[in-house]
A and B are shown apart, each in its own frame.
Chain A
């Protein structure tokens, strides 16, 4: 059997996708613009979600949009961490000489965690349970990146 390419076609397809954040996340992002971390509380099981959600995953109850909001401090606890040597941004990715620490942080008063870079800290100094605080970006736009990352608070481990 002989093989022969009959036709080779190259083309370009552009596909734009959206994701609507919905009213709950909308409020969360609006909060960031004024350096306010917002969560919401399930009236049934009292869990506090950051970011807020419309339906409690445990109770399957709709959390009313008009109340149940919880204003949180910008401090939290490091619950887990890792480091990466590849910096990823919208422009692409590149290798870095220094490790970038990333952490799972539980905001004080919440039952969930968020994942953000950990700033000004060495790999070797990281440990679960460290107290951390939000470092806000200079420019606030109601965007996830309004939170630049978290810095370690003095006082160390809990």
Chain B
């Protein structure tokens, strides 16, 4: 048993929408798996193990890995479920990678599938079980439990993002129009992918700015949707990968880093941070994953990024914390077109989480799209050659970051 170089050879999606009431949860996850297998022209028999994930009980259906076994092709095969909040999909990808990289006998090809059918469940109730996880945070905020319930139960993720946005704007001089610009780019990109949710090919900054605030400075037109959808990714060993596709996307670095536990990003425990857009978890995850992949100059060496940004300010923040742009300059790179599909560092050509958010699947979709851009098989393929890309995830108790570094070359030994 020796460590194996793992690679992604295929990715698949199902159609995402606010309500996929034409399928049940199992049928929906199966659609993405079939698409993934079809794209690689392989049968389920070639898959040795399955990793799956979705949010904990968002659909109100527990233990889906057990009753959905047949639907994900796991009959008589090793199956494990991973669930780490918003990063679930990112963790599913990393678990898929570990399965292959471990070099276990008989485990050569692994299918990773992540899904969420939000229309079945109650996302706010699901989230409140995450948000109220640590009571000391509530105390640190000086809130009586009743008020805290109201804030966390109703506010969900946007409350957190708006704190991050305020600090980011203060630091960088980024304007509300800059935030709108990020959204417009994402929604227009989404329109070029068949599987995405909010396809808005003609969306404009003016249209975004005409919508009301949901939580200052974030407007209704900037907010991530709640989607139903699924994604599947196929991991395999280097030698099989070479036989399966022309350009495999080699997995050369992975990291999962938890930062402080903080409901609004403030220090309730842990690192004692005061700035919610500091995001030490992202900084640390980048260090770890880049060093594994042998990347010393991320801003030069990384050609494409899929970052997990339900809200536009987060896209700017992550790109900086992950070392792709200098601090406080990301919004300028949207103004000059650097991040556009034909730019120097294209970002979220899938439309990102801002356009499509089947929560459990979102993290895996970032990895899938980052891989497809290397393989030259993305729906909204960028014109430049992508040698190295990253797929990022954010979530957990808003403190957790996952990162996957992919390349068209195996890791330098």
Contact = CB atoms under 8 A, between A and B. Distances in A.
Given A9-B146, A15-B60, A55-B27, A20 B117 contact: yes
B24 A21 contact: yes
A19 B22 contact: no
B71 A20 contact: no
B48 to A, nearest CB: 14
Interface of B: 20-27, 30, 34, 44, 59-61, 70-71, 73, 75, 117, 119-122, 125, 128, 144-146, 149, 153
Interface in A47-92: 54-55, 57-58, 60, 62
Interface string A13-31: 1011111111111000000
Contact of B125 (A9, A13, A23): A13
Contacts of A25: 24
A19 B61 contact: yes
Contacts of B20: 20
Contacts, number: 67
A25 B128 CA distance: 32
Contacts of A62: 30, 34
B120 A57 contact: no
A9 B120 contact: no
Given A9-B149, A13-B128, A60-B44, A20 B60 contact: no
B75 A60 contact: yes
16 contacts: A7-B145, A11-B149, A16-B122, A17-B59, A17-B122, A18-B21, A19-B24, A19-B61, A20-B25, A20-B120, A22-B27, A55-B26, A55-B27, A55-B70, A57-B70, A62-B34
Interface in A1-46: 7, 9, 11, 13, 15-25
Nearest to B61: A19
B24 A22 contact: yes
Given A9-B149, A57-B75, A60-B70, 5 more contacts: A18-B120, A20-B120, A22-B23, A24-B27, A55-B30
